[in-house]
Amino acid sequence: MTKHAAAVATERELGTLLSSKVQHLRQLQNMSLDALAKRAGLSKGTVVAIEQAKANPSIGVLCRLAVAFSLSVNDLLGQTSEEITDDRIERTKPATLWKTPQGSEAKLMASTSGRTMFEMWSWTIAPGDVHWSDAHSRGTRELVSVLRGSLKLTVGSETIILQAGEAARLLTDQPHSYAAADDHAVSFSMAVLERGVET
C-alpha cells in the first residue's frame, strides 16, 4: 500500500469511527442535531455529514465536538477509557490525527476531558504541506514551541515565522494554518486550551 493510499484509508476509518461515536454520544446525552450543532459551534449540515460518515472533519472540528460532549478528543475517538479516574498519574497513548504521504503528521499526546479541554500535541510538517484549521471555540489559546526547522504560522491575516528554539502564544478562534517556512521539515510541540461554547 502506498503512503497516499494509507493516508486515505486512515481518514476513511476515522470518519466511520467518528460517525458511530457521535451518534451514540448524542443519543446518550439526549441531544438533537440542532442542539449538538449549537453547542459545538458548527452548522447542522456539518453534524449531519459527520454522522453519515460523509465528512472528513479537521482537527478543529474534532476539538469542538469533543468539548461539546465534555470529552477529550481521545475519548471522542474511543482511544481511551470513558471512565474518570482519580489516579495521580495516568499513562496516555498518542493518537495520530493527521498524516500526509509527504511525512507530515499531528499526534495528540495527551488531553483532559470536560467542558474545558487541555491538550498536548507533537507535530511534524514536511516542506510543501500546509495544515489548515477551522476556527476553534471562542477564546481558544495555543502555545507553540519549535523544536527543529522553521515554522510559518498564520492566524487570520497575521503571519509569523518561528525558528528552532522560539515559541509563540496564539488566539486560534479564527481560521489558522501551520507550514514549514523553507525546504526542510519543521517539528514543533503545541499545547491547546479550549473552552466549550456556552449554551
Residues 62 and 133 in one domain: no
| Residue range of the domain that includes 152 | 95-195
Residues 99 and 191 in one domain: yes
- Host H or E run for residue 68: helix 59-68
Instruction: Give the model's pLDDT for residue 20.
Output: 86
Residues 60 and 102 in one domain: no
Grid coordinates in use for 105?
503528521
Residues 37 and 123 in one domain: no
Residues 102 and 65 in one domain: no
From residue 166, give the alpha-carbon distance in Å to each of 116, 169, 192: 27, 11, 17
149 CA to centre of own chain = 22
CATH of the domain at 35: 1.10.260.40
Please write the tens of the pLDDT for every residue from 75-131. 888 754 444 556 788 888 898 888 999 999 999 999 887 778 899 999 999 999 999
Residues 56 and 11 in one domain: yes
Q: Domain total for the chain? A: 2
Residues 147 and 119 in one domain: yes
3-class DSSP state for residue 198?
Answer: coil
Out of 4-13, 38-47, 151-160, which region has the weakest mean confidence (pLDDT)? Answer: 4-13
Instruction: Give the model's pLDDT for residue 45.
Output: 92
